Structure 1
Amino acid sequence: MPVWVLPVLWTVALGSWGLSRQGSVWRDEAATWQVARRSSAEICHMLQNVDVVHGSYYLLMHMLFECFGAGTTTLRLPSVLAMAVAAGCVAVIGRRLAGAWAGLAGGLAFGMLPAVQFYLQEGRPYALVAAGAGISTLLLVAVLQGRAPGPRRAVLRWVGYGVTVVLMGLLNWLSLMILAAHLATLLWCGARREVWLRWAAVSVTAFVCVLPLIVFSRGQAAQVSWIPPLTWHMMIGPAVLLAIGGIGALLDRPRSRRLSVAAVGLPLLAVPQLGLLTASLVQPLFLDRYVLYSLLGLALLIGAGVGAAVQAVGHRNAVAAKWVLPVVVAVAMAGLLPQSLAKRSVASRVDDVLAIASDVQRTKQAGNAVLFLPSTRRDAKSVSPEAFAGLREIALLESPVESGTLKGVEASPERIRAAMLRQKRILLLADTPAVARPVKGERDRMKTAVLRTHFRAVSDVEVRGRRLTVYERIERTGGAQGVPAKSRLPR
């Protein structure tokens, strides 16, 4: 049986376990959901204004939603299958460089890594980038091993390498740092001049193909302005990963001018992590998902360590050696079980768009108005428009689809104030205090001020990171002023 079969099946099983997360969808996935349900023309209109970096992924998900319908399975299954491909590539690379046990261990380890388990069930493009990293690295290893495949097959490998890197770049152009990782591998193993020339030509071509996206997306850089500046605390995670990877590299007994797991895995792990940390010194960009694909290198190095353990035990007892990997996997799964369960729970994400939409449907009454604070919380309506049917959008000037945005365009603060004062009952959809950010912007401050002064809260529900508060207009008769519930409003 090919060495990749078990890791692929193992990863698919891990991804299928709790795939729906109790029917929840959080805000990042809600962006995918609402955009995928638009027409191709509407998506292209939106990409001119926002999220062009994810344009290729949105168009892919649009096609899948058209074919299979909108749902959590359609949303997340592509990530499960992509991670399975990545695990299979890890297994094949490990077998080529360090033997079957190392390949099998690396492929199984990849699916168990906590970060991989998180994005394994995420309706975003990061798992697809990881699959591309696995395929491109496998093709590079095949070239470096120098097994004369014939001119036609050699050309196909380089074409496949270039196309895969381009697709990775179109899904997330920060993934082009894999070229720097592969450069380090070429330097480490002393690649032939012919390989250098072809790799350079293909890499430059791939970069040029992605360059227009990079340039255009810089005009939308405000989208990542929320990412916090780099701190020492944020560097702990990468440091731990590099330490584990370094131990695995030492167990592989690395030597210069030799193609090995260390020569491939350590650069693949270290270069993207260190590259993103360095870039974050100029502009805050450090989010682990941007370099998720680097964990293929960690899995390769873990596999090499387990493979070395199997060999060491095999010198003394051949029967016992066969049990090393099953025992390691069982112990790892037992140790990671609490995390695995947590990542498949609703609480693993900051909120749930679908749950609060259900509460809106139960709470609304004919003639009610609805407000969103901030306007990005309109994603609940974009994902579940039927739950908001009959509610009047008193702040909205242009819908998300019409404006080519994710959150729509709202009216001026004065118009919002005037519209609010004409209402008797308003439903406010906001974040819970635990995850809410300070109120910013004139429009949101106006919403807060009018509700505090002229309305009182009659019900307040918090569901999975979202908050639904119902406000009724204060009747000022006979000098009675009422008591506005100031403490209920976001500050």
Structure 2
Amino acid sequence: MPSRIPTPRRVPLWLVPALWTLGLGLWGLSRQDSLWRDEAATWQVALRSAAGIRAMLAHVDAVHGLYYLLMHGLFDWFGPTTTTLRLPSVLAMAVAAGCVAVIGERLAGRWAGLGGGMALCLLPAVQFYFQEGRPYALVAAGAGVSTLLLVTLLGGRDRWGRWAAYAGTVLVCALLNWFSLLILPAHAATLAWSGAGRRMWARWAAASGAAVAGALPLVLFTSGQSKQVSWIPPLTWHMMIGPAVLLAVGGLGALVDRPGGRRLSIASVGLPLLAVPQLGLAAVSLEKPLFLDRYILFSLLGLALLIGSLLGAAVRAVAPRFPAASRWLVPVLLACAVAALLPQSLAKRSPSSRVDDVLAMTADVRRMKEPGTAVVFLPGARRDARLVSPEAFTGLRDIALARSPRASGTLNGVEASPARIRDAMLAQRRILLVTDAPGAARPENGRRERVKAAVLRDYFTVIGDERVRGRRVTLYARK
């Protein structure tokens, strides 16, 4: 009897986009050892003790509490480096790309899955945030996992364990950033579009309700910290141009999928995942300005699915006449996309891609400081430079600070009253000012900031001034 020759096992499709995303994420990960203000917040909070982080969350940034505790553990284990800071986001987006590939393959074939998974990390917003020491890529990974679980359940594999995993994943995402709860109405639209029965609706409602109930205390508590996002501008028509373009591309992908009838498809999964968070956050922002693309980064998984649908349809159109060439269509189109986006990809990995660089100006601080010099931060939030690079500020007296960030349980400390700041400044012969470069500055209307600026303008003169990557260091001497 002839022996059976074992056939080689095919490489899982999801592995290719996951490794592709990981490779692109590792490319230029350090951004030339730069660190911008949002990442500086993660850095300095992660260096605190767990008790210190919990004390801070009672006053500020509770919405990111779980993420800060996670980064605290990673900094303890692997040390505070830019790799430790950003690698979790890269790994998370690789998971998201793998989920897109699996969903696309199940619903529209291998080329749609491969194309969608590979396209995800080429999207400009994804390239920005999957190298960022913030929680948005982790939320995207959770969105990918929860959507894959929903597709699995709608596909007939209805098990309570999967529903529990679905509820747990949605809850963890909400604890990382509760705007991710916008995925629930997107999934509800998928259930309606695919013709889910009453039993499926009941189980989804139970799982979703459990996730919302678990996140509700955080949502209610952080509503009292809404002053943190008071800087977000009101929604304008101009701000909706980008989302409109995304929705147009996604709509084209949905049409190509031929979403006729009540069935599970790329269109019924991808279009709600793209459109509902975008439109939902826009609707919320009509009442309170909150529209930032990073809050709904996870919606781009829907766009990637729909792009995969377009690529899969292109292969099906070409295959009957050119079967050999059709196999190369997706790789060639992806190569063209990589080439076209290369200038932008390089720009995203440069320090100038962010508003500022907290670390770049520390060399100027070291050079310009002298014994007896005081330091003033304007606004006080620019104290983040000292918090992430304390050695550069050794010997400089922070004369406006009344209570340190750790002692006060705040991000940047508590400053003295305007009158005391004025008196302290007038007692100095030299003051080193750390502030924003003009192009990166926001208008500051607080009394403390106005007093700082007025004292320097009226009683001091500039003897040294350096600007680098969104930050400015100016040395003043008494007139």
Quote how far apart the aligned CAs of 1:338 are.
Answer: 1.1
Corresponding residue number in structure 1 for 2:136: 126
Shifted more, 125-134 versus 414-423: the winner is 414-423
Corresponding residue number in structure 2 for 1:27: 37
Aligned mates of 1:78, 1:143 — CA distance in 2? 28
Shifted more, 446-455 versus 31-40: the winner is 446-455
Corresponding residue number in structure 1 for 2:83: 73
Corresponding residue number in structure 2 for 1:197: 202
Aligned mates of 1:451, 1:102 — CA distance in 2? 61
Aligned mates of 2:321, 2:222 — CA distance in 1? 58
Corresponding residue number in structure 2 for 1:137: 147
Amino acid at match of 1:408: G
Identity score, percent: 68
Query: What SS does structure 1 have at the residue aligned with 2:43?
Result: helix
Corresponding residue number in structure 2 for 1:44: 54
The answer to whether the aligner puts 1:355 opposite 2:365 as a matched pair is no
Aligned mates of 1:421, 1:304 — CA distance in 2? 66
2:287 to 265, 282, 289: 282
The answer to whether the aligner puts 1:146 opposite 2:126 as a matched pair is no
The answer to whether the aligner puts 1:440 opposite 2:445 as a matched pair is yes
> For residues 176-200 of structure 1, what are the alpha-carbon distances to aligned partners after superposition, in whole Å with 9 as ceiling and x for unaligned?
0100000000000111222111100
Corresponding residue number in structure 2 for 1:406: 411
Query: What SS does structure 2 have at the residue aligned with 1:371?
Result: strand
The answer to whether the aligner puts 1:167 opposite 2:167 as a matched pair is no
The answer to whether the aligner puts 1:82 opposite 2:92 as a matched pair is yes
Aligned mates of 2:157, 2:411 — CA distance in 1? 50
Query: What SS does structure 2 have at the residue aligned with 1:107?
Result: helix
Query: What SS does structure 2 have at the residue aligned with 1:459?
Result: strand
> For residues 299-348 of structure 1, what are the alpha-carbon distances to aligned partners after superposition, in whole Å with 9 as ceiling and x for unaligned?
00000110011111111121111110111101101111111111111110
Quote how far apart the aligned CAs of 1:257 are.
Answer: 1.2
Corresponding residue number in structure 2 for 1:17: 27
1:179 to 184, 188, 208: 184
Runs of 5+ consecutive residues of structure 2 not aligned to the other structure: 1-10
Amino acid at match of 1:259: L
The answer to whether the aligner puts 1:310 opposite 2:315 as a matched pair is yes
Shifted more, 9-18 versus 412-421: the winner is 412-421
Amino acid at match of 2:14: W
Corresponding residue number in structure 1 for 2:426: 421
Aligned mates of 1:101, 1:441 — CA distance in 2? 56
- In the TM superposition, 1:331-480 aligns within 5 A as 331-474=336-479
Aligned mates of 1:414, 1:144 — CA distance in 2? 65
Quote how far apart the aligned CAs of 1:147 are.
Answer: 4.2
1:64 to 59, 63, 74: 74
Corresponding residue number in structure 2 for 1:242: 247
Amino acid at match of 2:294: R
Quote how far apart the aligned CAs of 1:359 are.
Answer: 1.7
Corresponding residue number in structure 1 for 2:4: none
Q: TM-score, normalised by structure 1?
A: 0.95
Aligned mates of 1:438, 1:282 — CA distance in 2? 23
Corresponding residue number in structure 2 for 1:271: 276
2:300 to 271, 278, 295: 295
Amino acid at match of 2:421: I
Aligned mates of 2:111, 2:457 — CA distance in 1? 65
Quote how far apart the aligned CAs of 1:394 are.
Answer: 0.6
Query: What SS does structure 1 have at the residue aligned with 2:434?
Result: strand
- In the TM superposition, 1:100-119 aligns within 5 A as 100-119=110-129
Aligned mates of 1:233, 1:363 — CA distance in 2? 43
> For residues 372-411 of structure 1, what are the alpha-carbon distances to aligned partners after superposition, in whole Å with 9 as ceiling and x for unaligned?
0000000000111111111101110001111111111111
Quote how far apart the aligned CAs of 1:363 are.
Answer: 1.7
Aligned mates of 1:55, 1:439 — CA distance in 2? 27
> For residues 260-297 of structure 1, what are the alpha-carbon distances to aligned partners after superposition, in whole Å with 9 as ceiling and x for unaligned?
00000000000000000000000000000011000000
Quote how far apart the aligned CAs of 1:256 are.
Answer: 2.6
Amino acid at match of 1:431: D
1:228 to 224, 233, 239: 233
Query: What SS does structure 2 have at the residue aligned with 1:322?
Result: helix
Aligned mates of 1:385, 1:361 — CA distance in 2? 11
Query: What SS does structure 2 have at the residue aligned with 1:458?
Result: strand
Aligned mates of 1:243, 1:97 — CA distance in 2? 21
Amino acid at match of 1:132: G
Aligned mates of 1:258, 1:268 — CA distance in 2? 16
Amino acid at match of 2:302: G
1:218 to 223, 226, 251: 223
Aligned mates of 1:327, 1:129 — CA distance in 2? 31
Corresponding residue number in structure 2 for 1:481: none
Runs of 5+ consecutive residues of structure 1 not aligned to the other structure: 149-153, 475-491
Aligned mates of 2:443, 2:19 — CA distance in 1? 45
Quote how far apart the aligned CAs of 1:366 are.
Answer: 1.3
Query: What SS does structure 2 have at the residue aligned with 1:355?
Result: coil
Aligned mates of 2:385, 2:182 — CA distance in 1? 35
Quote how far apart the aligned CAs of 1:362 are.
Answer: 2.1
Runs of 4+ in structure 1 displaced over 3 angstroms? none
> For residues 72-127 of structure 1, what are the alpha-carbon distances to aligned partners after superposition, in whole Å with 9 as ceiling and x for unaligned?
10000000000000000000000010011100000000011110000010000000
Corresponding residue number in structure 1 for 2:6: none
Aligned mates of 1:218, 1:262 — CA distance in 2? 35
Query: What SS does structure 2 have at the residue aligned with 1:112?
Result: coil
Corresponding residue number in structure 2 for 1:483: none
Aligned mates of 2:366, 2:403 — CA distance in 1? 23
Query: What SS does structure 2 have at the residue aligned with 1:219?
Result: helix
Aligned mates of 1:229, 1:413 — CA distance in 2? 30
Shifted more, 437-446 versus 93-102: the winner is 437-446
Amino acid at match of 1:157: R
Quote how far apart the aligned CAs of 1:451 are.
Answer: 1.0
1:94 to 104, 122, 127: 104
Query: What SS does structure 2 have at the residue aligned with 1:296?
Result: helix
The answer to whether the aligner puts 1:55 opposite 2:68 as a matched pair is no
Aligned mates of 1:303, 1:354 — CA distance in 2? 40
Aligned mates of 2:208, 2:261 — CA distance in 1? 23
Query: What SS does structure 1 have at the residue aligned with 2:258?
Result: coil
